[in-house]
Chains A and B, each alone.
Chain A
Amino acid sequence: MKILVCVSNVPDTTTKVTFTENNTQFNTAGVQFIINPYDELSLTRGLELTEKLGGTVTTITVGLADTEASIRKALAIGATDAVRINAVPTDAYFVAEQIAAYAKAENFDLIFTGRESIDYNGGQVCGLLAEMLGLPSVNVITSIEIDGTTATMERDIDGGREKLTANLPLVVSAQKELTEPRIPNMRGIMAARTKPLKVVEPVASELTSAAVGFELPAPKGSVKLISVEEAGSLISILHNEAKII
């Protein structure tokens, strides 16, 4: 079983988000970066599968050298080896193209992405990557089991749950319930020191999109309490003061 896990490097969930360059760039000053939480689930599930069935888990990250702390963490959690495509991950198409270029020659049985990265929340890499590799894809899965060359998965659908199968090789994206993320331990951290981290230069790719500007949501207003006796005035307040109906 040869598994590839896409790992992106994202701001910590508690980051206070600000922008620079006329609101076109995310301000990374003082920001802590972590492994995208959905990718941590993918990685853990990948490890669980290979522990049962044998095989390897490779991680791949499109990013500059500053992403290596997260990559080392992925190795400490248990990945066999890691690849870093030495480029800024400008958009989903670019990232998918880079990963596809690497994965093409490697014949992975199973490729995991997260359902989205928690910074830009595009959620497109899974589908794009599968298309570029000519493979089937199933997104937002909450469970996956492998039997021979068949994967059995579950995913939440509106008001219920879908169970489906697909043949390997396959690209899937991880949703919250997939598994419990693993915390590395000291032995893993030591082992990670000597695990291979291969740096690959990006393939040529045309830029297909660019961020024009970012905007923060308006600050939350204060709460206005209305006494029970004045409940009747609610409609007019929503209409005239809050202006939302």
Chain B
Amino acid sequence: MTTNAQEFTKANKQDVYNHPDYYLLDELLSEEHKLIRSTVRDYVKKELSPIIEDVAQKAVFPRFMVKELGELGCYAPQLPVEYGCGGMDYITYGLMMQELERCDSGVRSTASVQGSLVMYPIYKFGSEEQKHKYLPKLAKGDLLGCFGLTEPNHGSDPGGMTTNFKPAGDGKHVILNGAKMWISNSPFADIAVVWAKNENGKIKGIIVERGMEGFTTPETHNKWSLRASATGELVFNDVLVPVENILPGVEGLKGPLTCLNSARYGISWGALGAAMDCYDTALRYSKERIQFGKPIAGFQLQQKKLAEMITEITKAQLLTWRLGVLMNEGRATPAQISMAKRNNVDLALNVARNARQMLGGMGITGEYPIMRHMMNLESVVTYEGTHDIHLLITGLDITGENAFA
């Protein structure tokens, strides 16, 4: 198990990324937003960019990063200070996710899961005791968490889940049985927020801790995507969990879906970050690469790609910023968040594919980040609601007709 930064090979290339800002949207950010963005960017350039390629090639989880991201304040910065979080706004959270995913979707996934899918449900639905017990340690990165919703036979349709718990008979514990699949952070997580049905068939959240008997977290190997993030299963074999680990504040699918809203919001900023990195890389390359006696940036076919990329990126930047304002005001609807997630991930995939072509053969190597982003985005377009499912959410929202089933 590799845990130290020193165990990865450093690339000798400098990360010169700068974000495109065609419509001067930085003017919509506060000085503090910009300071936070540059802080995360500086950290990424110094500590992560030099090793991220090696991390992804080796598919070894950069465990050291968990603590460092905590020190930086990347886990649920929008939750209150009294639980060890930042008390910042949603735009701050979005900018942090954007800078992390600009580096790698796997890095952002680790932070998203911790902040939006583990800390957020504990904050929103947990007891005061649960909040004080877990949130400060999660915020600092002293504990790593994961979120178990998806099951082998229930992905897009989590309501059909079969993982369940029933009273143990001692009045103090419940017995948990079942299995979750595709769980980010699971192989290294100290705790898992698991969604399971009680004896009445109602979905409840329950905090399972590593070390509880009958609880295992086998790792999923051979992924071609999100190789810098660990993915695995959660297997519960008659696990005895104290009743005080059940989240008291929510029942039903609303629980997990509320968390997904927060995470999907972060993904909409994040995916845009990956797109901006691909664009920045392709633009730079096209000015330096000479073919037929001139930079390839001078050929119309390449300009078409670049011009369309920056147009789509700029539109998405506006959409995402506006969504952030609505989030801050508590007015963003789940359907609006779905639209941003779907739009931005799709756009990022398109930008990545075009940018990759612009780099020719170089585009498939680890010398440049584009192919890694492209492969990562195949997970991002699938998790937290697939591309199709988000379209159905928009469809339902505008027509009132349910086309899911």
A contact residues vs B (CB 8 Å cutoff): 14, 68-69, 72-73, 76, 183-187, 189-190, 193
Contacts and interface: CB of A to CB of B under 8 A. Distances in A.
A20 B109 CA distance: 46
Nearest to B45: A183
Interface in B93-135: none
A99 to B, nearest CB: 24
Contacts of A193: 32
B114 to A, nearest CB: 14
A69 B73 contact: no
B91 to A, nearest CB: 13
Contact of A76 (B35, B43, B92): B35
Contacts of A190: 81, 86-88
B31 interface: yes
Chain B, interface size category, equals 20 to 34
Contacts of B46: 183
B144 to A, nearest CB: 18
B32 A189 contact: yes
Contacts, number: 45
A156 B88 CA distance: 44
B77 interface: yes
B18 interface: yes
A78 B81 CA distance: 19
A14 B39 contact: no
B172 interface: no
A157 B46 CA distance: 29
B16 interface: yes
B35 A189 contact: yes
A53 B239 CA distance: 51
Given A69-B35, A76-B35, A186 B43 contact: no
Interface string B31-72: 110111011001100100000000000000000000000011
B34 A69 contact: yes
Nearest to A12: B18
A99 B278 CA distance: 45
A186 B40 CA distance: 9
A14 B16 contact: yes
A186 B42 contact: no
Interface string B14-28: 001010000000000
Contacts of B42: 183
A187 B73 contact: yes
Given A14-B16, A14-B18, A186 B73 contact: yes
Contact of B31 (A14, A68, A187): A68
Given A69-B31, A72-B35, A186-B74, 11 more contacts: A69-B34, A72-B32, A183-B72, A186-B36, A186-B72, A186-B73, A186-B77, A186-B88, A190-B87, A190-B88, A193-B32
Contacts of B92: 186
A155 to B, nearest CB: 26
A185 B72 contact: yes
